[in-house]
Structure 1
Amino acid sequence: MSKRDQKAVALALAFALLGGAALAQQQPSADEAGARPVTAERWALHAQATDILQYYPAFHSPFQGPNSLRPEATWGNTVDATIYAGVRPWSGGEAWLNWEGYQGYAPSNTLGVAGYVNGDGAKVGHAHPYGRIARLFFRQTIDLGGGPDDQAADLNQLAAPRTKDRLVLTAGKLNVTDVFDANTYAHDPRSDFLDWSLIAAGSFDYAADAWGYTYGASAEWYAGDWTWRAGAFDLSTVPNSPILTPDFRQFQLVGEAERRMSLGGRPGAIRLTGFLSRGRMARYDAAVALGRRTGGPADASLVRRYASRPGASLGFEQEVADGLGVFGRLGWADGQHEAYEYTDIDRTAELGIQVEGKRWGRKGDEIGAAAVVNQLSRAGQRYLDAGGLGILVGDGRLPHPGSEEILEAYYSLGLGKDLHLSLDDQFVAHPAYNRDRGPVNVMGLRLHLQH
């Protein structure tokens, strides 16, 4: 057994002991006292497994580079599974451990499209199964009144009575989008849209290792129809690295304001999200200038200096009829410096719709469709044209840059309470902002089990 596995087992045992102590010492909930209809869950165990198979036919490609989408017909298959274990050590508290296993490669090994086509495919592909602790965090909810707003049981969420006005504190290892830029209709590639640009705003360069997780803490203040969120998170040692900075010397601050509203008696929300990353990052034009002096391609790793990279996005969601919702996002990030963690997008716009199958007599089914336009700054275009490589893109040159345009549609077929089979199609025009390559049509089949 490796040292990493030994640590994982030790953490799991400690977590189990904590759960046993919590069960032994748990005080009666408000429901047990007869005051509220919801019983506070003392513990929970959930699991999910997702298998995604994708294929695209050969497409037009007069040239390609190290980070290009391969032009020949290509298959990709990724499999992942997660165990979610949670306990309530005291009133309002939750501790969660997620263990995830991975196997396989997304098409072209997760390269070639800024709005990449498989949001469930880790940047670290592997032919053999491997596992790691994805999340290990604690959450404390402090009720402040304002009437009931009970919390339903879900992944990483124990059922509990709570109030509309509350303070929620979270700390540990998690995904930044667990807290920020959440959207009811486009947020989870295991069950809705697969494209990276639709998990969160494509320009939201949120702190994460190569699997999407980081260490940090956040605070959320719910007050009536408003929620205010703030958090601080650890950046990777270098952009797009599997290793996080050990001393938080490189970090990211994130803030969000959410306004919940009702349109015709139907729920909706608007969210304004902003981030500021502080770390060693390259300025695109500095990398291009050095490449010209040395006669080599632009290389961001040679010109990294401690700097800041800000960004902001505005998103909305709105139910417009029973089982019918619309959503959209607009995003911007500083285009003078390289993207640090997520993907190479400086501007993004998306608009989509989701329809539940109950509207045509198929309660477990779902349809989604969305359009995305991603853009890279002029400085970023010059960098790619000089042979530079981004997080996901880099065709060796970029003589005719343009917007990356994506259309995605899926049909999710409910095969039972816990099992769904989805057909997905993504049409990508100008992959990696390159008007000389593509378009490409990526077809997918997704099998998702969640209990």
Structure 2
Amino acid sequence: MTRKFYLPLLLSIICTFLGATAFAQKAGSGSDQIATFASPIQDFPTEGELFGLPVNIHGQTTYINQRYNNFTSSYSGPNSLNAQNSMSYTWSGTLFFGARVAPDTDIYFNPEVISGVPFSGLVGLGGFTNGEGSKATGAQAKFYSARAFVRQTFNQEGDKVVLENEANQITQTVSSNRVVVTAGQFSTLDIFDDSRYAKDPRIQFMNWGNMTYLAYDYAADARGYSTGLAGEWYLENWVLRASRMLAPKNPNGRDLNWQIFNTYGDQIEVERQHNIADLPGKVSVLAYRNRMILARFSDATNYVVANNAQGTQAINNVRSNYQYKTGVGIHGEQALTKDLGIYGRAFTSDGHTETMSFTEADNSISVGMGMNGTSWKRPSDTIGISMMQNGLSSFRRGYLQAGGVSYFIGDYAGAGQTISYRPERIGEVYYNAMVIKNVLAGLNFQHINNPAYNAARGPLNILSFRIHAEF
């Protein structure tokens, strides 16, 4: 490992030490927090007042290092995963500032820094192995705004619910029946498809297919953030969510298109929460519709054949008209005991057009479980196991088999050497240990069959090390 890869790890360790020592004077057991498989943050004095306004501040730092050995590859194309042993890393740091400017009005700002080198320049997989990878553009640290938004709560009649102090949430008493409006810069995934067991790659599963539905092409810039308006209506055990978010100017681009009535990503979600034997669970259905100038795979395939353009990103040559892209999925999760829970996601997109913002998948299914370490006297430790299968539509598959190259994938290497299509299958397991208060260290293992939907390549095994700290 060269010095540029050691530096983020050193910075993460320093931030870990500072976060653990500067705020360790007030800490509880923390087991209830870890049992939800969410943040390891504990009851630190991160709320106060500034100019008479309630404020809070939190922070996180995460270092992830991933490696794999040589894997079998009959051939490689322009967007193939490197078949030789490789190493990847990301390091991120985020500050979460919040202020309550009126009784039910909060504003939040999250400056973020990232450095990292993803495997093969972030090509060669559908389900990428590190949820932070899309933000990384090199070893030099980049600073940017991740979130800057306002949240307005309209309380109605209902039971009182206390929302505890955490990142992007000042302690607040709300009604079980309420409407919440969020406007500004944030991630679509901040609002939609929440999960207790599989959501945050900094502390849970790392693979993109466990952040959300892999086939959900949610509106975002290349880092995963966007700007828009979202509404949530809480009615006892039901939640209805809807939003319109800005789409990128170009597919998978960094810059957003502010013509929100011409290019956009819409989504709607209905969630039903429940308890079985006093153990929480929920079921949700999510649908989306994107609109922007996108290439249709049928047009791109015709272009490849007519112009002998194998091995090129022909999608760039047929991207001229506004297209709609739609999809729908279902997500369910259930706690089986106080310390064990399961989840499952399934999604399908229409598959006619290229990817707008997320990754190369038109259908996906994932299942898994999460458990904390109470039974082995480590209640603050967590373990997770998951399996997923990702697939392509006949339109995207036909384009790749004709010799076309897509944004993230494309194994074309000459006549007869296009993808030998098989669904991409990924197994993932992780273990996190609480080494000191508010500091997690963990190992993660991923086994990938048919990377980039090609049976002629792989399988490969990826071992990851992670350290994560919060205050």
TM-score normalised by length of structure 1: 0.90
Gaps of 5+ in 1: 1-21, 27-41
Q: 1:388 to 1:154 in 2, by over 3 A?
A: farther
Deviation for aligned residue 1:153: 1.2
Greater alpha carbon shift after TM alignment, 380-389 vs 349-358: 380-389
Pick from 416, 425, 438: which aligns with 1:405? 425
| Structure 2: distance between partners of 1:447 and 1:363 | 18
Do the aligned residues in 2 keep the contact of 1:123 with 1:211 (CA within 8 Å)? yes
* Secondary structure class of the residue paired with 1:380: helix
Gaps of 5+ in 2: 1-48
For residues 43-92 of structure 1, what are the alpha-carbon distances to aligned partners after superposition, in whole Å with 9 as ceiling and x for unaligned?
11111010000000000111111221100000011111101111000111
Pick from 274, 299, 303: which aligns with 2:318? 303
The answer on 1:118 being equivalent to 2:138 is: no
The answer on 1:270 being equivalent to 2:283 is: yes
Amino acid at match of 2:444: D
Deviation for aligned residue 1:23: 4.3
Provide the residue aligned with 1:195 in structure 2: 207
Deviation for aligned residue 1:145: 2.2
Pick from 268, 272, 289: which aligns with 1:255? 268
Provide the residue aligned with 1:448 in structure 2: 468
Pick from 157, 173, 179: which aligns with 1:145? 157
The answer on 1:341 being equivalent to 2:357 is: yes
| Structure 1: distance between partners of 2:177 and 2:375 | 34
Amino acid at match of 1:251: Y
Do the aligned residues in 2 keep the contact of 1:364 with 1:417 (CA within 8 Å)? no
For residues 342-387 of structure 1, what are the alpha-carbon distances to aligned partners after superposition, in whole Å with 9 as ceiling and x for unaligned?
0011011111000011232102100000000000011111111233
* Secondary structure class of the residue paired with 1:351: strand
The answer on 1:66 being equivalent to 2:78 is: yes
Amino acid at match of 2:322: Y
Greater alpha carbon shift after TM alignment, 106-115 vs 374-383: 106-115
Deviation for aligned residue 1:393: 1.6
Do the aligned residues in 2 keep the contact of 1:346 with 1:375 (CA within 8 Å)? yes
Deviation for aligned residue 1:388: 2.5
| Structure 1: distance between partners of 2:375 and 2:157 | 37
| Structure 2: distance between partners of 1:391 and 1:165 | 43
Greater alpha carbon shift after TM alignment, 156-165 vs 364-373: 156-165
| Structure 1: distance between partners of 2:315 and 2:284 | 33
Amino acid at match of 2:125: V
Provide the residue aligned with 1:39 in structure 2: none
For residues 224-256 of structure 1, what are the alpha-carbon distances to aligned partners after superposition, in whole Å with 9 as ceiling and x for unaligned?
110000000000011110111132231011100
The answer on 1:365 being equivalent to 2:377 is: no
* Secondary structure class of the residue paired with 2:101: coil
Pick from 399, 413, 418: which aligns with 1:383? 399
| Structure 1: distance between partners of 2:418 and 2:369 | 33
Provide the residue aligned with 1:11 in structure 2: none
Amino acid at match of 2:254: P
Segments of 4+ in structure 1 off by > 6 A? Answer: none
* Secondary structure class of the residue paired with 2:397: helix
The answer on 1:102 being equivalent to 2:114 is: yes
Deviation for aligned residue 1:146: 1.3
1:70-85 to 2 correspondence within 5 Å? 70-85=82-97
| Structure 2: distance between partners of 1:154 and 1:352 | 26
* Secondary structure class of the residue paired with 2:316: helix
| Structure 1: distance between partners of 2:166 and 2:437 | 14
* Secondary structure class of the residue paired with 1:88: strand
Provide the residue aligned with 1:283 in structure 2: 296
Greater alpha carbon shift after TM alignment, 240-249 vs 373-382: 240-249
Pick from 459, 462, 465: which aligns with 1:439? 459
Do the aligned residues in 2 keep the contact of 1:341 with 1:391 (CA within 8 Å)? no
Amino acid at match of 2:466: R
Deviation for aligned residue 1:322: 1.3
Pick from 218, 224, 245: which aligns with 1:233? 245
Structure showing greater relative contact order (alpha-carbon pairs closer than 8 Å, 6 or more residues apart): 2
Amino acid at match of 1:409: V
| Structure 1: distance between partners of 2:113 and 2:454 | 34
* Secondary structure class of the residue paired with 1:161: strand
The answer on 1:319 being equivalent to 2:332 is: no
* Secondary structure class of the residue paired with 2:156: strand
| Structure 2: distance between partners of 1:371 and 1:144 | 41
Amino acid at match of 1:344: E
Do the aligned residues in 1 keep the contact of 2:422 with 2:453 (CA within 8 Å)? yes
Do the aligned residues in 2 keep the contact of 1:109 with 1:123 (CA within 8 Å)? no
* Secondary structure class of the residue paired with 2:163: coil
| Structure 1: distance between partners of 2:102 and 2:306 | 62
Amino acid at match of 2:153: T
| Structure 2: distance between partners of 1:187 and 1:384 | 30
Do the aligned residues in 1 keep the contact of 2:309 with 2:404 (CA within 8 Å)? no
For residues 124-163 of structure 1, what are the alpha-carbon distances to aligned partners after superposition, in whole Å with 9 as ceiling and x for unaligned?
4212111001110000111112111110111111111111
Q: 1:213 to 1:399 in 2, by over 3 A?
A: closer
| Structure 1: distance between partners of 2:368 and 2:329 | 16
Amino acid at match of 1:72: Q
| Structure 1: distance between partners of 2:342 and 2:419 | 37
Do the aligned residues in 1 keep the contact of 2:327 with 2:350 (CA within 8 Å)? yes
Residue identity over aligned pairs, in percent, reads: 31
For residues 236-277 of structure 1, what are the alpha-carbon distances to aligned partners after superposition, in whole Å with 9 as ceiling and x for unaligned?
011110111132231011100000011122100001011000
Greater alpha carbon shift after TM alignment, 300-309 vs 185-194: 300-309
The answer on 1:356 being equivalent to 2:372 is: yes
Q: 1:90 to 1:60 in 2, by over 3 A?
A: same
* Secondary structure class of the residue paired with 1:317: strand
TM-score normalised by length of structure 2: 0.86
* Secondary structure class of the residue paired with 1:149: strand
